[in-house]
Amino acid sequence: VHPLIISSKMDFSQNNLFGYIEDLQELTIIERPVRRSLKTPEEIERLTVDEELNDIERAVYLLSSGQDIQGTSVVANLPVLMQQNPAETLRRVLPKIREVLHVAGVEMQLTAAVAFLTIQQEESVSIHTYSHSFLHIILQNLEHRDAGVSNAWLETLLAVIEVLPKETIRHEILNPLVSKAQLSQTLQSRLVSCKILGKLANKFETHIIKREILPLVKSLCQDVEYEVRSCMCRQLEHIAQGIGTELTKNVVLPELVELARDEGSSVRLAAFETLVNLLEMFDADDRSQTVLPLVKSFCEKSFKVDESILVSLSFHLGKLCNGLYGIFTPEQHLRFLEFYKKLCTLGLQQENGHNDNQIQLQTLEQEKKYISVRKNCAYNFPAMIVFVDPKNFHLELYSTFFCLCHDPEVPVRYTMAIGLYEVAKLLDSGVYVIHKELVTLLQDDSLEVLDALISHLPEILELMTTGGENSGSESKLLTVPDLIPALTTAEQRAATSLKWRTHEKLLQKYACLPHIISSDQIYYRFLHRMLTIIMTNNVLPVQKAAARTLCVYLRYNRKQEQRHEVIQKLIEQLGQGKSYWNRLRFLDTCEFIMELFSKSFFCKYFFLPVLELTHDPVANVRMKLCYLLPKVKSTLKVPTDKHLLQQLELCIRKLLCQEKDKDVLTIVKRTVLELDRMEISMDAFQKRFYENDLLDQEKEREEQLLLEMEQLEKEKQQNEGRSTSISDKIFEKKRKFFVFVGSCKEGKKSKLVRSHSFSTQALHPKYGNIDKCSKYVLFEQIPLLRSNSGYPL
């Protein structure tokens, strides 16, 4: 019997058996070097430290006679020692660290740089003590022969400069910098000097900067090494912000002009980027007479002579065009626009982006460069819409927009998907122009593109429903063909992929659809799909996202028969499903229903089916129910729901008496204590529940209004073609009132949806089917989640 049981659990076929043997061999190979790396008795003895030593003594001992790894450990622990015993650490440990760092390896140097910065950030000592004890060590190690170590110490120094007193900075840093920046010093020393000067520019008054810092800046801008000139050029932006507009115009701008004509391509690139970043500091004359000619020269040379600047130029082009917008002549405006369009198709034979054939045989590096250029063009597309004016979008930029959305490279389309929301906002009433591209991106082959697009999908769709002057809730997205098939295709592609987070995100965003498309479209194309996902998907976050979105769809469904059918399926297929996993998801769904719907709705339809799960054969289901019981009880109001309260108490007593699982019983006992402390809302207003009761009463008023509106809408449809009747006037009056009430609660962007009434009979097989009843309305005005832009999700 046993061999049969084993073979049913494990596959000992020939292929799998060889796999097991290979795994065992790999383990053996891994194990061999471990044995060889064990320490010898002599090494263990050298690494052993007397246990009676305190932390300071142990640190001093390890720094004096320990191995490098032990010394590095002490240095890493320095911030802790400074917190515990700063005086002794400064007196005994820090001098040892200073000695060790002279001969220390790269790892200890990097560790020390981080430790020194941590001590300053934690303010373990006063800034005076820090500058006296630590600053000298930092400055000594700035010119370490290893570039990585030097940069680590430089980052520490630049952070420390922010908190050092002016006098300390002047005597300890600025004065020595005069000699460190000379040509006679090493290249590393001059590079460090450039970065320090950029940091010091905003620490002193203008006259000190003019007298002591600017001469050094000019000298380094004319250094013989292109690395120094480039480094100093990139610091001119910080220096300009420290010296003000006048000195920037007289000192910095001439240096930038000279550096822009430098023989080194990296220097010219640094000059170009610094010019773009400083545009706001130059007046109109400087822009037109100095900056614009330089920029034109850059653009002309980028294709003919210096392709190395193309990537940077494409990245800054949007900022550049808008920064120079006021000084462009119509001819210059057109020239820069054409230059942008040319960059958008760089590396492609045709502008439609469909052909992979290229103009010439390109190297891999060129291809990567051209892809980066087109990606940057996609990034700058919203800025270029501002440049041409949104009114001229269709004429000037639509073909380029189409090309970028159909680009053969994923990074380009990904960037377009990210920026589509900004594009839609800028186009405003002309947003209908990009409907086809929205559908195209929704159907994109890459899930990365889809993931980028759905981040702002609710806002984009909302803009498209309200973009045109004639659009409204009665004609939702009728002008967007293929939108619904594109949405369903996108969901199916996300579902069949391994990227469940994208699928979860998409389902969460699809909760906006009741504000976008009709109730029938949601019911036939999306609602049942959500139920299928809940029942068949294997990823819990995806199932929960589908459950919540389904509840939102149910909340906004406008047909009574459809609502009843969905509720019936939720109870029968989830609450009474054969799989315990489905029953767990039913409880999750009930949580969302309690969140989105009124208490009365939950009590009438789901209260009793939930309590039925106290008899569930699976302990996990009963346990989850116990956790949910306090929320369930909070939906009750007495005396109206007194019979339901009695049912709840009866179920709890049965659980206490009959529960055999010790874990569930523990949760039951804990839940009973919590339930005893809970107070139940009354039908009448109470001070402690005033806000909740007020909200509930407001919901009931709106529900009643919705019921009357539904009835009047039916009457209006029946009387269509006749003369205007009293019911039409009442209908219009109440419709306006409902829109006003809803807009106060949901905000300007939230669109209200009129509803048919729910029935009032509890939906449960034991208590009969749902009967149609027009006496009550259970369609809630729920507080929807909002995105950062205020749009309801």
Alpha-carbon gap, residue 194 to 177, rounded angstroms = 10
> Is the pLDDT assigned to residue 618 strictly greater than 90?
yes
pLDDT confidence bin for 27, thresholds 50/70/90: low
Residue type, 180: K
Neighbours of 559 (CB within 10 A): 13
- Provide the token pair at 543: 């199932």
Rounded to whole angstroms, the Cα distance separating 127 from 149 reads 24
- For the entire predicted model, the pTM comes to 0.78
**How many helical (H) and strand (E) elements, i.e. helices and strands, does the chain have?**
47, 2
* Mean pLDDT value of segment 661-668: 92
pLDDT (tens digit, 9 = 90+) per residue, 269-286?
A: 999 999 999 999 999 999
- Give just the sign of the alpha carbon dihedral 708, 714, 719, 721: positive
Convert 338-375 into a string of H (helix), E (strand) and C (coil).
HHHHHHHCCCCCCCCCCCCCCCCCCCHHHHHHHHHHHH
**Which tokens hold the place of 146?**
């290893």
Does residue 2 surpass a pLDDT of 50? no
DSSP secondary structure letter of residue 325: G
Q: How far apart are the C-alpha atoms of 217 and 189, rounded to whole Å?
A: 14
604 vs 718 pLDDT, higher one:
604
41-50, 120-129, 313-322, 601-610: least confidently modelled range: 41-50
- Dihedral (CA of 176, 178, 184, 186) sign: positive
Taking the CA atoms of residue 703, residue 705, residue 707 and residue 711 in that order, the dihedral angle to the nearest 10 degrees is: -170
Q: What is the pLDDT of residue 116?
A: 95
- Which residues lie across from 637 on neighbouring strands? 681
Instruction: Check pLDDT > 90 for residue 748.
Output: no
Positive or negative CA dihedral for 667, 669, 674, 680?
Answer: positive
The residue among 753 and 727 whose pLDDT is bigger is 727
The CA distance from 250 to 328, in Å, is 24
Q: How far apart are the two ends of the chain, measured CA to CA in Å?
A: 58
Please tell me the predicted confidence (pLDDT) of residue 600: 85
Helix H or strand E segment including 655: helix 642-658
Q: What is the pLDDT of residue 65?
A: 79
Lowest mean pLDDT among 310-324, 356-370, 779-793: 779-793
d(CA 754, CA 750): 13
In three state form, how does the secondary structure of 662-683 look?
A: HHHHHHHHHHHHHHHHCCCEEC
| The predicted structure's pLDDT at residue 241 | 87
Of residues 654 and 2, which shows the higher confidence score? Answer: 654
Which tokens hold the place of 675?
A: 């339930």
What pLDDT is recorded for position 561?
82
299 pLDDT band, cuts 50/70/90, is confident
Phi-psi region of 579 (alpha: psi -120 to 50; beta: other; left: phi over 0): beta
Task: Show the tokens assigned to 367.
Answer: 């291809």
Spatial CB neighbours of 553, under 8 Å, sequence gap ≥ 6: 511, 513, 514, 522, 523, 526, 527, 530
Contact 93, 119 (CB under 8 A): no
Residue 243 and residue 251 in contact, taking contact as beta carbons nearer than 8 Å: yes
Examine the pLDDT at 756 and tell me if it is beyond 50: no
Dihedral angle at the C-alpha atoms of 595, 599, 600, 604, nearest 10 degrees? 70
Pairing of strands 637-638, 681-682: parallel
Residue tagged 């990904």 (tokens): 414
Q: Under DSSP, is residue 34 helix (H, G, I), strand (E, B) or coil?
A: helix
Residue 676 has what pLDDT? 87
How sure is the predictor about 156, in pLDDT bands with cuts at 50, 70 and 90? very high
d(CA 70, CA 41): 18
- Please say if the pLDDT value at position 50 is more than 90: no
pLDDT at 471 over 60: no
CB-CB contact of 273 with 230 (8 Å): no
What distance in Å separates the CA atoms of residue 629 and residue 656, rounded to the nearest whole number? Answer: 14
Mean pLDDT of the region 433-460: 95
Determine if residue 306 is left, alpha or beta; phi over 0 gives left, psi from -120 to 50 gives alpha, anything else beta: beta
Q: What is the pLDDT of residue 557?
A: 82
pLDDT attached to residue 75? 93
- For 218-272, write each residue's pLDDT tens digit: 999 999 999 999 999 999 999 998 888 888 999 999 999 999 998 888 999 999 9
Mean pLDDT of 67-84: 90
Q: How far apart are CA 582 and CA 574, in angstroms?
A: 5
Cβ-contact 131, 168 below 8 angstroms: yes
Question: Do residues 634 and 603 touch, judged by C-beta distance below 8 A?
Answer: no
Closest by Cα among 579, 577, 504, 499 to 547: 504
Task: Find the range with the poorest average confidence among 125-129, 353-357, 571-575.
Answer: 353-357
User: Can you read off the two tokens belonging to residue 348?
Assistant: 């492609």
Identify the pLDDT of residue 475.
Answer: 45
The model's confidence at residue 732, banded by pLDDT at 50, 70 and 90, is low
- Provide the pLDDT confidence category of residue 780 given band limits of 50, 70 and 90: very low
Query: Is the predicted pLDDT of residue 510 greater than 70, yes or no?
Result: yes
Q: What is the mean pLDDT of residues 610-616?
A: 93
Q: Is the pLDDT at 553 greater than 80, yes or no?
A: yes
Is the model more confident about 41 or about 159?
Answer: 159
Q: Inform me whether the pLDDT recorded for 13 exceeds 80.
A: no
Q: What is the DSSP string of 278-324?
A: TGGGS-HHHIIIIIHHHHHHHHHHHHHT-GGGHHHHHHHHHHHHHHT
Q: Pick 678 or 28 by higher pLDDT.
A: 678
Residue 143's pLDDT band (boundaries 50, 70, 90)? confident
Least confident range of 94-98, 496-500, 777-781: 777-781
Percent of the chain with pLDDT over 70: 77
Sequence-separated (6 or more) residues with CB below 8 Å from residue 454:
490, 502, 505, 506, 509
pLDDT at 666 over 60: yes
Q: Are 625 and 610 in contact (CB under 8 A)?
A: yes
Amino acid residing at 532: T
Q: Which of 260, 157, 268, 252 is nearest to 214 (CA)?
A: 252
483 Cβ neighbours under 8 A, 6+ residues apart: 435, 438, 439, 442, 477, 517
- Per residue in 398-422, pLDDT (tens digit) is 999 999 999 999 999 999 999 999 9
Answer yes or no: are the C-beta atoms of 406 and 352 closer than 8 Å: yes
Lowest mean pLDDT among 55-64, 545-554, 615-624, 784-793: 784-793
The DSSP call for residue 261 is T
Is it the case that residue 3 has pLDDT exceeding 90? no
Percent of the chain with pLDDT over 90: 52
Check residues 134 and 689 and name the one with the higher pLDDT. 134
Q: Residue 92, class by beta-carbon neighbours within 10 Å (0-12 exposed, 13-18 middle, 19+ buried)?
A: middle
* Measured distance CA(761)–CA(770) in Å, rounded: 6
623 half-sphere exposure, CB direction, 13 A CA radius: 12
Please give the Cα distance from 790 to 441 (Å, whole number).
24
Q: What's the mean per-residue pLDDT of the chain?
A: 82
Q: What is the model's pLDDT at position 729?
A: 55
Residue 542 in this model has a pLDDT that exceeds 90: yes
Confidence of residue 693 (pLDDT cuts 50, 70, 90): low
Q: Which residue has the higher pLDDT, 749 or 48?
A: 48
Residue 681, beta-bridge partner list: 637
